[in-house]
Structure 1
Amino acid sequence: MEVILKEDVANLGHRGDVVKVADGYGRNFLLPRKLALQATAANKAVIDQMKSAAARRSATEKVQAEQLLAQLEPVVLTFTRKSGESGHLFGSVTSADIAAELATKGFDIDRRKITLADAIKSLGNHEVSIRLHREVTAHVKVKVNGDANDEAAAATEAVQAPAETSAE
C-alpha cells in the first residue's frame, strides 16, 4: 500500500513523502491516526501543494525550535529522590518527570521528544537530549540529588552509633 505522510513518522519518512508500507500498518495505524493519506490519483495531485506547505511550515518550526534551543541551553533541572548508600535511586527519573519539570519552568515540551536511552537511576549530573525539530536538538542538564532526609538520617545514625559505644 502506498501512502502520503501527513506528519513525520519515525523510521518511515517525513511529511509529504510517498512511502510504501504493509497493508495492515497503513490501514490499522497510519490512516486511523491521520498520519497519512492513501496515495490515490487525486491525493497525488495534492501532494505538491502539501510539500510546499510542509516546507514553509517546517521552516517556521525550525526557527521556533532554534529560539527554544537558545532558551533551553542554560536550564538545569534538579530532582531530589530517595537513594541508597551506593548512589542508586529507589525509582528513577523518567522523560515524563523531565517534561513535568520543564512545564513548571514554562516550557511546553512533549515527553516523547525527550530522548533517554534508559531512565536515570543514579545520583549526579546527566545530560538529556530533546529533539525540538528534525534538525534541532537541545541538550538539557539534569542534576539528581539524594533526599535530604536520607542524608540527615544517615548522619544522625553515624553520630549516635559512636556515642552509644563510648558510654558502655
Structure 2
Amino acid sequence: MNIILTEKVNNLGNLGDIVHVKPGYARNYLLPQGKAIRATKENIEIFEKERSKREEENNKSKSEAEKLSKELKDISLIILRPASETGLLYGSVSTRDISKLLKEKNHSITHKQIVLEKTIKDLGIYEVEIKLHPEVGKNIKLNVARTEEEALIQEKTGKAVVESVEENNDDSIDPKTIDEISLEKLDGDKALNETSSGNDPNDKITKKLKK
C-alpha cells in the first residue's frame, strides 16, 4: 500500500514522503495514529497544496519540543513501591504512573509519549525515553525504590537495594560430618534393637511395679 507520511517515521521516511508499506502496518498503526494518509491521486494533490503549511507547523512543534527537552535535562524521577527482599515489586510501574509523576512536576507529558520496552516490575535505576516530537526524544532517569533512603543508596551505587542470596554449589561433605551422622545412626539402631528385644528400660520399671 502506498501512503504519504504526515510526519517523520523512524526507518521509514520524512514528512511528505510517499512510501510503500504492508497493508496491515498502514491500517493498524500509521493511518489510525495520524502518521500517514493514503497516497491516492486526490490526497497527493491536496498534500502538495498544504505542504508548506504542514512543514511550518512541524517546525514550530519541533522547536517547542526541543525547548521542553532542555527543561527536562536534569530531571530525575523517584517512584516508591513495596517490593520483596529480592527486589520484585508487589505490582508494577507503567507509563501512566510516570506520566502522572511528570504532571505533578508541571510537565504535561501523556502516557503515549513515554516509551517502555516492558512494564517495570523490579527495583532499580531505569532510563525512560520520552517522545516529545517525531524528531525529538529525551531520556530521563527513573529510580524505583522501596523507601527514600534506599532511593538515595540506589542513586549513589546505580544498583537496586536487594538482599544478596549466596548459592552454595559445593556438594562435598566434611568427613567429620559423615562420622557424626554414622554415630547418630548407630545409636538409633541400638535403641531400636533394645526395644524390639524387650530390653527397654521402661519395661523393667513396669515389671517391678507389677511385683
Same-fold call, TM cutoff 0.5: yes
Instruction: Return structure 1 stretches of 4+ with deviation > 6 angstroms.
Output: none
Structure 1: unaligned runs, 5 residues or longer: 149-168
2:78 matched residue in structure 1: 78
Identity of aligned residues (%): 39
CA distance in 1, matches of 2:29, 2:137: 27
- CA deviations on 1:85-136 (whole Å, 9 max, x unpaired) are 1122112211121111111211121222212222222223222111212332
Q: Once superposed, what is the RMSD of the aligned Cα atoms?
A: 2.8
- 2:16–2:51 CA contact under 8 A, matched in 1: yes
TM-aligned CA deviation for residue 44 of structure 1: 1.9
Greater CA deviation, 36-45 or 86-95?
A: 36-45
Report the residue type matching 1:91 in the other structure.
Answer: G
Aligned counterparts, 1:97-136, within 5 A: 97-136=97-136
- 2:8–2:135 CA contact under 8 A, matched in 1: no
- 1:83–1:147 CA contact under 8 A, matched in 2: no
CA distance in 1, matches of 2:122, 2:43: 51
Report the residue type matching 1:80 in the other structure.
Answer: L
- 2:9–2:134 CA contact under 8 A, matched in 1: no
CA distance in 2, matches of 1:32, 1:137: 22
Greater CA deviation, 99-108 or 111-120?
A: 111-120
2:43 matched residue in structure 1: 43
CA distance in 2, matches of 1:73, 1:41: 44
Tell me, yes or no, if structure 1 residue 88 matches structure 2 residue 88: yes
2:3 matched residue in structure 1: 3
CA distance in 2, matches of 1:32, 1:138: 24
Higher relative contact order (CA 8 A, sep 6+): 1
CA distance in 2, matches of 1:26, 1:46: 20
Greater CA deviation, 127-136 or 77-86?
A: 127-136
CA distance in 2, matches of 1:83, 1:15: 45
Query: Secondary structure in 2 aligned to 1:42?
Result: helix
CA distance in 2, matches of 1:108, 1:28: 27
Aligned length: 148
1:125–1:30: structure 2 CA closer, same or farther, 3 Å change rule? closer
Q: Highest CA radius of gyration, 1 or 2?
A: 2
Tell me, yes or no, if structure 1 residue 58 matches structure 2 residue 58: yes
TM-aligned CA deviation for residue 9 of structure 1: 5.5
CA distance in 2, matches of 1:33, 1:116: 18
CA distance in 1, matches of 2:26, 2:87: 46
TM-aligned CA deviation for residue 64 of structure 1: 0.6
Query: Secondary structure in 2 aligned to 1:97?
Result: helix
CA distance in 2, matches of 1:131, 1:56: 20
TM-aligned CA deviation for residue 83 of structure 1: 0.3
1:129–1:30: structure 2 CA closer, same or farther, 3 Å change rule? closer
Report the residue type matching 2:20 in the other structure.
Answer: K
Report the residue type matching 2:117 in the other structure.
Answer: A
CA distance in 2, matches of 1:122, 1:34: 34
- 2:113–2:132 CA contact under 8 A, matched in 1: yes
